[in-house]
Amino acid sequence: MHVLLTAGPTYEPLDPVRFIGNRSTGKMGYALAEAFAATGARVTLVSGPTALPTPANPLIETVRVETAQQMYAAAAAVAPRADVWVFAAAVADYRPAEVATEKIKKQGDTLTLTLVKNVDIAATLGETKRTEQFSVGFALETTNELLHAHDKLLRKNFDLVVLNSLRDAGAGFGHDTNKVAVLDRVGQVLTFDLQAKTELAHRLVQLILSRFTAVYAS
Ligand code: CTP
């Protein structure tokens, strides 16, 4: 069993000292990597910049990247031979159209940046997914959560989508705990109560592996 996992944020440079990023800590993705490795699976962890230590488990190979383009290249190199893909990274949807080679100097009262769309890693790889492969995505929605998450599942060819709750204190970005609902392709919803990300990771891995085995056996 070989698992491809993306985790953490991406940083999109503006100049040599500045970037556009987000508050993802990578905790959920790293916890998933450890939980998969605990079952004996080999994991390729493609990680954006995080403060977390590189996992010491020899079953986990960590590939450190910065930008969405680098994350895509690293994930695409592994995806064809991985059995399970888990996209836990918070990828920047856009990047600055131009990266200045020198530090941008202060000028005038406003500054307008032009951004261009980044590659959608999960959706692009989703187009290449074979029937014996299994893909899991994450979603963070603020309105019509289940509907939007299911739409995302279909658009990105996920087999399962983990819906992060934004409404609950203690869940999601920066916290050690999380509360999620998992949707499958037929619209079935499984809810997981607020719990430590490490604990939740083990439960999610059990669910993913049982669903993967069911698909693989059919
Ligand atoms: N994702 C990705 N590459 C991107 C954007 C998102 O691989 N460029 C993956 C994330 O890792 C996650 C899933 O797609 O598993 C959903 O991410 P989200 O940001 O919620 O989706 P978007 O397509 O950006 O949708 P929107 O911003 O319209 O909600």
In the block, tokens 């990680």 appear at 47
Does the pLDDT of residue 168 top 80, yes or no? no
The ligand 1 atom nearest the CA atom of 136: 15
Q: How many beta carbons lie within 10 A of that of residue 102, not counting itself?
A: 8
Task: Tell me the C-alpha distance between 117 and 109, whole Å.
Answer: 26
Residue (of 190, 201, 215) closest to 88 by Cα position: 201
Active site residue 118: no
Q: Facing residues of 218 across strands?
A: none
**Ligand 1 centroid from CA 7, angstroms:** 12
d(CA 58, CA 39): 13
**How does residue 120 score in pLDDT terms, banded at 50, 70 and 90?**
very high
| CA atoms 35, 31, 52, 1: torsion sign | positive
Amino acid at 163: L
- What pLDDT sits at residue 113? 95
Q: What is the mean pLDDT of residues 50-63?
A: 98
Cα(143)–Cα(70) distance, rounded to whole angstroms? 31
Site to probe by mutation for ligand 1, drawn from 121, 124, 160, 162 as the one with most ligand atoms within 8 Å of Cβ, is 121
Specify the CATH superfamily of domain 2-97+110-217: CoaB-like (3.40.50.10300)
- The whole-number pLDDT of residue 84 equals 98
In this predicted structure, the answer to whether residue 215 has a pLDDT above a threshold of 90 is no
pLDDT for residue 218: 64
CA-to-CA separations, 209 to 35, 50, 139, 204, 218, in angstroms, rounded? 11, 27, 20, 9, 14
For a mutational test of ligand 1's pocket, the pick from 47, 91, 160, 182, i.e. the residue with the most ligand atoms closer than 8 A to its C-beta, is 91
Q: Give the pLDDT of residue 166.
A: 73
More confident residue, 90 or 179: 90
Ligand 1 atom closest to residue 118's alpha carbon, by position in its atom list: 8
| Amino acid making up residue 12 | E
Among 30-34, 130-134, 135-139, 141-145, the range scoring the smallest mean pLDDT is: 141-145
Q: What is the mean pLDDT of residues 128-157?
A: 95
Q: Tell me the percentage of the chain whose pLDDT exceeds 90.
A: 88
Position 89 pLDDT exceeds 80 = yes
Residue 69 has pLDDT above 90, yes or no: yes
Instruction: Output the pLDDT for position 180.
Output: 92
Q: Across residues 99-103, what is the average pLDDT?
A: 97
> Which of ligand 1's atoms lies nearest the C-alpha of 156?
14
What is the structure's pLDDT at 216?
66
Domain residue ranges of the chain, discontinuous segments joined by +: 2-97+110-217
Q: What is the pLDDT averaged over residues 58-75?
A: 98
State the SS3 of the chain: CEEEEEECECCEEEECCEEECCCCCCHHHHHHHHHHHHCCCEEEEEECCCCCCCCCCCCEEEEECCCHHHHHHHHHHHHHHCCEEEECCECCCEEECCCCCCCCCCCCCCCCCCEEECCCHHHHHHCCCCCCCEEEEEEECCCCHHHHHHHHHHHCCCCEEEEECCCCCCCCCCCCEEEEEEEECCCCEEEEEEEEHHHHHHHHHHHHHHHHHHHHHC
